Amino acid sequence: MAAQRQVRPDKYTEFVSGGLGRDVAKRLGLPQPAILRRYTPGAPLVLGPILVVGHTEGSDAVADVLLSWGQDVRRHAAPKEKLGAIVLVLDGLAHPDRLSAPLREVGGALRDLHRNGRVVSISRRAQPEDAPEAAAARNAVDGIVRSLAKELRAGATANGVVLSNGTSAAAPSALSALRFFLSARSAFVDGQFLTASSAGSPATPDWENPLAGRVAVVTGSARGIGASIARTLARDGAKVVAVDVPAAGDRLAAVANEIHGTALQLDITATEAGARILDHAAQRHGRLDIVVHNAGITRDKLLANMDAARWDSVIAVNIAAQLRMNQAFLASSHFADSPRIVSVSSTSGIAGNRGQTNYAASKAGVIGMVRSTAPLLEDRGGTVNAVAPGFIETAMTAKIPFATREVARRLNSLRQAGAPEDVAEAIAYFASEASAGVTANILRVCGQNLVGQ
C-alpha cells in the first residue's frame, strides 16, 4: 500500500496561518485561508461534538446513527461548547415559514464551530408534483447552504445531502453522503450537494478499508491527479490497474510499483482500448469493478483561432474515448458486480472558460454522459458519477504566471487551491460500496468558486 502523502499548503497560506503573518493579513484586510484538515486513516471523523438540529423522526434516526458511529451527539447547543459539526435535518420541510427556527438555531451555534468544522443539511428534492410552498421551501435550502458556505471561515465548509423521492434521512446512501461531507475526505468540497436514493442500499460499510477486494482501473495515472487517484484507491484496499500512454511508461511503472498494482500502456483513443483494459483486468484479477476516467488533455485557443487538430484531439481524448470504452465495459460480464464508473469533468464544463470552448465542450459532454449512463447500470447495481475539479495545484497550474496563479487560488470560499488528493478522495467515495444509491451526481471539488455556483 502506498504511504499517505502529506499535502503542503501554499506559502502564503502557511504564512498567514499563525503569528506575525496572521496579524499582517488581518490589519491589511488580506485573505486568511486556513490550513485544511485532510483525511488520514484512523483519524477522528470530526473534531468535536456534532449538533443535530431538527425535530422529525429523520433527525432522531440520524442522531442515533451518529451515536452508533461513536460520535458525541448534541440535540441542543451548550453555551460556548466547541462543535465539530452541525447537521441540519429538514426532511419534513413543507413551507418556507418553517425555516426560521432551525436556521436561527444553526446561526446561534456557528460561532462555536471548530476550525475545519462542518455544516451539513439533509433535505428533500423539490418534485414537479409538490405543492408550490413545499417546492419553494425545499429549493430554498439550496440557496441557504451555498450562501452559508461563503460565510464560514477557518476551513469550515457547508454542504448538503438531498433525498430523492421516498428516501429516508437514515437510508444507507444518505448516511454515506453525510459521512463523506463530515469527514476530512471532503476538505476542498464546499457549497455542494449529493443526491441519495434508496436504490442499491449497501450492507454495513467498511469505513476504514472501503475498497478491499475491488479491482480498479485509472486512466491517465502516470502523474498529477491520476497518480493521486491510483494511490488513494490502493490505500483504500483496491487492486489498481494504472493506465497511461506509452510515452509516460517510466512514470506509469513507478506509480504502479509504488501501489503494488499493474501498469498498462495504452492510447485510450484506440478503438480496442476498452477491450484491452477488460482483458488485462480479467487475466490479472478475474474481473473489473471500478473505472476512473481521468485521462484528459487541453489544447486552448480562442474559438476564432481554433483549428481542427486542437478541437478534434480534445474531444477524442476527453469524451469520445470514454463513450467508446463504456460501451465495451457495459457489454462485458467481467464488469457486472455492483460496478462503479467515475469520470473527471471540470468546472470549465459547468461555467465555461475563456479560450476553452473545446475543453469545456468535452467536460460538459462528460456530465451529459454520466446522467444518461446511470440508468444503464441500475440492473447490475452500479453507479456512475463525475467529479469536477476547480483550481488544483498540479505541475500544469505551477506553470501559470505567479500573479494569475495567486488570484486563481483565492477566488473560492476557502481562499486557496485544492490538491490532487482532494479530487482523489471524492472519487474514492464514489467508487466505494457505501455510495450505492448515489448516482448521476456531478460533485465540484473547487472550494466553492465565489462567482456563480
Q: DSSP of 104-147, one letter per residue?
A: HHHHHHGGGEEEEEEEEEEEE---TTS-HHHHHHHHHHHHHHHH
For residue 296, the domain's CATH number is 3.40.50.720
Residues 6+ apart with CB under 8 A from 274: 324, 325, 326, 327, 328, 329
On whether both 403 and 336 belong to a single domain, the answer is: yes
Query: What's the distance, Cα to Cα, between the start and end of the chain in Å?
Result: 37
Average the pLDDT over 9-26 and give the result: 83
Q: Is residue 10 part of a domain?
A: no
Query: What are the tens digits of pLDDT across the range 320-373?
Result: 999 999 999 999 999 999 999 999 999 999 999 899 999 999 999 999 999 999
- 228 and 185 in one domain? no
Residues 375 and 230 in one domain: yes
User: pLDDT by residue (tens digit) across 404-430?
Assistant: 888 888 999 999 999 999 999 999 999
In this structure, the answer to whether residues 192 and 219 fall within a common structural domain is no
Say what the pLDDT of residue 332 is: 97
The pLDDT tens digits of the residues spanning 388-406 come to: 999 999 887 888 888 888 8
Q: What is the model's pLDDT at position 450?
A: 62
Each residue's pLDDT tens digit, 268-327? 999 999 999 999 999 999 999 999 999 999 999 999 999 999 999 999 999 999 999 999
135 vs 234: CA distance, rounded Å: 42
One-letter amino acid of 9 = P
- Return the bridge partners of 291, or none: 217, 341
pLDDT the model gives residue 14: 84
C-alpha distances (whole Å) from 118 to each of 121, 190, 427 are: 10, 10, 20
- Last residue of a domain, which of 196, 231, 258? 196
pTM score above 0.85 = yes
452 pLDDT tier (thresholds 50, 70, 90):
very low
Residue 125 sits in the same domain as residue 78: yes
**Exposure b/e, 150-164, CB count within 10 A at least 16 = b:** eebeebbbbbbbbbb
List the 83-90 sheet strands across, edge first.
Answer: 73-74, 50-53, 83-90, 113-124, 157-163, 193-196
Q: Are residues 238 and 287 in the same domain?
A: yes
Domain span at 366: 215-445
Residue 380 in domain: yes
Residue located via cell numbers 481562499: 415
Catalytic residue among 12, 39, 359, 429: 359
pLDDT tens, residue by residue, 164-202: 988 999 999 999 999 999 999 999 999 999 999 987 665
Write down the residue that cell numbers 425545499 correspond to. 138
Burial class (CB in 10 A: 0-12, 13-18, 19+), 397: middle
Q: Domain total for the chain?
A: 2
Of 138, 165, 196, the residue that ends a domain is 196
Q: Which of 326, 264, 332, 321 is nearest to 296 (CA)?
A: 321
Cα–Cα distance for residue pair 402/58, rounded to 1 Å: 49
Same domain, 434 and 376: yes
| 233 plus 292 within the same structural domain | yes
Assess if residue 208 is contained within a domain: no
Identify which of 5, 195, 23, 178 has the alpha carbon closest to the alpha carbon of residue 85: 178
pLDDT: which is higher, 22 or 131: 131
Whole-angstrom distance, CA of residue 175 vs CA of residue 300 = 41
359 catalytic, yes or no? Answer: yes
* pLDDT confidence of residue 394: 87
> Residue 5: pLDDT above 80?
no
- Establish if 2 belongs to a structural domain: no
Beta bridge partners of 418: 392
Judged against a pLDDT cut of 50, whether residue 135 lies above it is answered with yes
Total residue count of the chain as it appears in this document: 453
Q: Are residues 279 and 191 in the same domain?
A: no
- Whether 141 and 252 map to the same domain: the answer is no
Predicted confidence at residue 116, as pLDDT, reads: 97
Work out the angle between the directed axes of helices 172-182 and 57-68 (0-180°, nearest 10). 60
pLDDT digits (tens, 9 = 90+) for 189-235: 999 999 999 876 656 788 989 999 999 999 999 999 999 999 999 99
Residue 73 lies in a domain: yes
Specify if 59 maps to a domain.
yes
Q: pLDDT value at position 418? A: 95
Q: Looking at the structure, do residues 233 and 374 belong to the same domain, yes or no?
A: yes
C-alpha–C-alpha distance, residues 160 and 157, integer Å: 10
Distance CA(135)–CA(94), nearest Å, equals 8
From the centroid of its chain, how far is CA 95?
30
Residue-averaged pLDDT of the chain: 94
pLDDT of residue 453: 46
Is residue 317 located within the same domain as residue 437? yes
List pLDDT tens digits, range 101-132.
Answer: 999 999 999 999 999 999 999 999 999 899 99
